Structure 1
Amino acid sequence: MRVAVADVGTNSSHLLIAEARGEGGGYRVLDALKDRTRLGECLDAAGNLTREGEERLAAALTHFQALGAAAGVPEVQVYATSALREAPNGPEVAARVGERTGVYPVIISGEREGQLTYLGAAHSVDFGADNVLLDLGGGSLELARGGPERAEDVLSLPLGAIRMTRAWLHRDPPSKAELRALQDAVRSALAPHLGRFWVRPGTHVVLSSGTAEAAAALLAARGDTLPPSVNGLTVTTADLAALLERIRGLSAARRIRLPGLERRADTIVAGLAVLHAALEELGAERATVSEGALREGMLIEELGRHMAYAQGLSARQRSVLATAERFGANLAHARHVSALARDLLARLEAAGETFPPEARSLLTAAAVLHEVGQIVVQSAHHKHSAYLIRHAGLRGFTPREIELVAQLARYHRRSGPKSSHPEYAALPAPDRALVARLAAVLRVADGLDRSHAGEVRLHNLTRSAPGWTLTVSGATPLDLAGARDKADLWAREFGPLTVLERATPEGILGA
């Protein structure tokens, strides 16, 4: 299995393409790319992303998608952080860029960003029983505390290197007074949260950011020769203070000549000042640098989800998964749609709707295979999916079951089942009813992952006199629109469906 993930930050966007190795969660990196999108400099007076910023983002995602396709990955999963998260027009920009490029940048919260970065760092350097991670981006600083694998507490503060440079450093080189004011602002922002992230005896402190990597490289450099990697290197708070003082006195023209700062000379002073002040305020004397960050966390999470899903399948459903992979289907999307479809089916049954025992297995197979026709053509891929399923040689299914799976996939989009469709009309009446009802479920499940973000969770499905109400969380505006657009067959088979987003308490992890 191959996976392509990318994160869109305030300063740059990063792509990572990797291949799973064995069943232990390991992977091999096939390709990586950094694009200097610099979205932070493309904000208007109201904080909206400008047309220039949108063009930069679209160009980066188009390039990422092309590299992913060349590596045999059907789709790149993209998470957008501070720049789009804080821009008032961020959701609109994400939707437009997704429509233009076919890659939808999912805007995630600072807490979600911290969780994934913690996961990526935990697989890059040794974590102990108690760890505090500081991840500095262009727009925000994330702090996370947790155990060997998972963050238990995450905080996101608007203290990113680009943001702090613009807010506090107006001279070149910056004055001591400017630097002192910047660090005072960092300490003030951290003060209310010290109890949550204070460094105790035995706490392992980890830094994850381009600023931290650049600082560690400069401290470990021999002349103009930088170390090939800084992953796992330890830097002391005192060393960072000395490096900050050294760099602060240089103009941008001189900083750019330092090895490793060619593209970071304009933000390195603010970045170092934020990290140094934060470490001091938290009581940390030293920290370990991790090169693993958000995109590595995304990759590890995606591979873990896929392994857990595959292990829970029956032998014949594994053959379905192998078929989907053979035809180049987006396995992450297929897996999530199948999970949503099974959940919807179970909730319908709990509400009194009856289905035959085979319904769950047929729906799962159709959900995994519903987009395999895209290997032929995008525009009518639902019809090609049905054809490929009929002739794929699925193991463990009877000819009747294969035909039902094919027709379910056929009706996951566009027109619902009609008596004028020859293959549908040829089915016995009970099978026609089953296809229509299960296709209604599949259409809503597919709509709920229209963004291909894999974040939607179901919470409640209730029936009342006007119809059904489905409450979900984690849905993007695109997902909600997708589910509502594709609820037509559901309305015909079960009654009108209203889809609502559940409000998530801010700062609650895993809600």
Structure 2
Amino acid sequence: MRVAVADIGTNSCHLLIAEARGSSYQVLDTLKERTRLGACLDEQRNITPEGERRLTEALKQFQELAHAAQVSEVRAYATSAMREAPNGKEVAARVSEASGVYPVMISGEREAQLTYLGAAHSVEFGADNLLLDLGGGSLELARGGPEQPDHVISLPLGSVRLHLTHLQKEPPGPRAVKALQQLVTKALEPHLGTFRVGSATRVFGSSGTFEAVGAAIAQRRGVLGVTEISVGGFSFEVSALGDLVRDLQKLTPAGRIRAGIDPRRADIIVAGAAILEAALRAVGAERATVSEGAMREGMVIEELAAQTHWESGLSARQRSAAALAERFMVSLPHARQVTALAQDLLSRLQRRGESFPEEAPSLLSAAAFLHEIGQSVSQSSHHKHSAYLIRHAGLRGFDPRQLELIAQIARYHRKSAPKSSHIEFQALSSIDREGVAKLTAILRVADGLDRTHSSQSQIVDLHREGGSWVLTVAGVTALDLAGAQDKSDVWRQVYGELKVEAAQGS
């Protein structure tokens, strides 16, 4: 199994393509694009057209690399800059349309959890660990055991953000840096009861800034084998970080470059280093270790774990469908999500009195998991290619009639509804035509609910109101809502009108 994940940050976007290797993974390719979204915000913190253009171009490149590595799509998570932008959802929709990658906006707490997971598989965590993750827009702290954090916070203390608000003058000088650090210390004070370190606490840092300051301190010491590219596992004293901050604040960006700072980071390194020093001193840390594992590594680990867990409970039929899906580069997260949504809809319809044959769950599951298999042939008319491959590519565990029903359910997941003028559909018995129509209606709505391929939608309720149905969904985007409503045409023919709405607070 191969996955491609992207971390859309305030300063840069990172792509990671990896392949499962037993209980771990092997990195196949990476790419970093310095999109600087944090510098592309207007006075209301809306993302500007230039920021949208930069993000679109980066995600197009990511998608191309993923396809070259035989991964069907990129799963992208967006952090501070996009989640705080009032127009973030609108930008995400347009970027998705232009690039084929939907940037899912996650909370700072979710970001911290994923980063902790990535770091835990990069460095040696102990029984009690504190991880600091500094991005361009926010600072996350996570504390916990060897695998999972017990406490996480996200604060608007990112390096790009505070550089723009506190350190516009070059060189910034000690007064401006002190004011910035006082802000950080004050913001952390309410949380020190949870995050103040003890004698046995291991302290780690994750981010490009943490790697940059680690490499700079190692260079000043003359430590061999450490560069900004390979600095994982290097430990330094907080006092050494303080010395670095006091030296850097006296220099212009050109002077910092001459001192060995990466030119691409020379403008924001003072803010980043000062934030880290203040945060580490606030929690009482004396030393910190650099972790190269970050949010994108956590995303890979989480996705591989989800796939492994899902596969462990499969029947022989489902394992055959999963193997076929992977063979033809189906997006496994999307396939799993659509299958889960379709099965949920089916069970809710049954509880509301709709009748289905005993084989319906198995047929629907296979069709849902394989509905996009035809994209390996061509995006155009891929629903027809899906039907052909289901019939002929060796799906096991079903008899010829069942294979035909699965093929037709998948074939009708988009475009035309089942029609008597379609030769294959007309050739079915009247009972099977009814079954295909009923399961097609479910699959179309389930597929629409994951139009963004973000795997976020969750069904809350399905009930009747008069002669119509009302479907309530949580975690849904505007695109997913529109997708489900647009694809409710067959549902309307089979079950009656359907209204799809977001749950309150979603």
2:375 is equivalent to residue 380 of structure 1: no
Report the Cα distance in structure 1 between the residues aligned to 2:285 and 2:467, rounded to whole angstroms: 59
Distance 1:465 1:384, change over 3 A: same
Q: Secondary structure at the match of 2:172?
A: coil
What is the aligned residue count?
503
Report the Cα distance in structure 2 between the residues aligned to 1:496 and 1:202, rounded to whole angstroms: 61
1:157 partner amino acid: L
Deviates more, 1:323-332 or 1:397-406: 323-332
- The within-5 A match list for 1:90-489 is 90-221=88-219, 223=222, 227-228=226-227, 229-489=230-490
Instruction: Give the match for residue 8 of structure 2.
Output: 8
Contact in 2 for aligned 1:217/1:226 (Cα 8 Å): no
Q: Secondary structure at the match of 2:264?
A: coil
Contact in 2 for aligned 1:225/1:259 (Cα 8 Å): no
Deviation of residue 197 (structure 1)? 2.0
Q: Secondary structure at the match of 2:210?
A: helix
2:31 partner amino acid: L
Q: Secondary structure at the match of 1:263?
A: helix
How far does the alpha carbon of each residue in 1:251-300 deviate from its partner, in whole angstroms, 9 at most, with x for none? 21110223342211111111111111111112222222111111111111
Report the Cα distance in structure 2 between the residues aligned to 1:268 and 1:234, rounded to whole angstroms: 19
Q: Secondary structure at the match of 1:125?
A: coil
Report the Cα distance in structure 2 between the residues aligned to 1:396 and 1:265, rounded to whole angstroms: 60
Report the Cα distance in structure 2 between the residues aligned to 1:299 and 1:80, rounded to whole angstroms: 15
1:143 partner amino acid: L
Report the Cα distance in structure 2 between the residues aligned to 1:368 and 1:346, rounded to whole angstroms: 17
Report the Cα distance in structure 2 between the residues aligned to 1:192 and 1:503, rounded to whole angstroms: 31
Deviation of residue 466 (structure 1)? 4.9
Distance 1:462 1:195, change over 3 A: farther
Q: Secondary structure at the match of 2:279?
A: helix
Q: Secondary structure at the match of 1:446?
A: helix
Contact in 1 for aligned 2:63/2:101 (Cα 8 Å): yes
Instruction: Give the match for residue 508 of structure 1.
Output: none
2:496 is equivalent to residue 498 of structure 1: no
List alignment gaps of at least 5 residues for structure 2. none
TM-score (norm 1): 0.95
Contact in 2 for aligned 1:218/1:226 (Cα 8 Å): no
Instruction: Give the match for residue 509 of structure 1.
Output: none
Instruction: Give the match for residue 37 of structure 2.
Output: 39
Report the Cα distance in structure 2 between the residues aligned to 1:500 and 1:114, rounded to whole angstroms: 30
Aligned-CA RMSD value: 1.7
Q: Secondary structure at the match of 2:258?
A: coil
Structure 1 residue aligned with 2:55, among 54, 57, 68?
Answer: 57
Distance 1:224 1:172, change over 3 A: farther
Report the Cα distance in structure 1 between the residues aligned to 2:80 and 2:225, rounded to whole angstroms: 30
Deviates more, 1:341-350 or 1:64-73: 341-350
2:10 partner amino acid: T
2:163 partner amino acid: T
Identity fraction in percent:
61
Deviation of residue 225 (structure 1)? 6.6
Deviates more, 1:36-45 or 1:458-467: 458-467
1:430 partner amino acid: I
Deviation of residue 214 (structure 1)? 0.8
Contact in 1 for aligned 2:174/2:246 (Cα 8 Å): no
Report the Cα distance in structure 2 between the residues aligned to 1:129 and 1:474, rounded to whole angstroms: 34
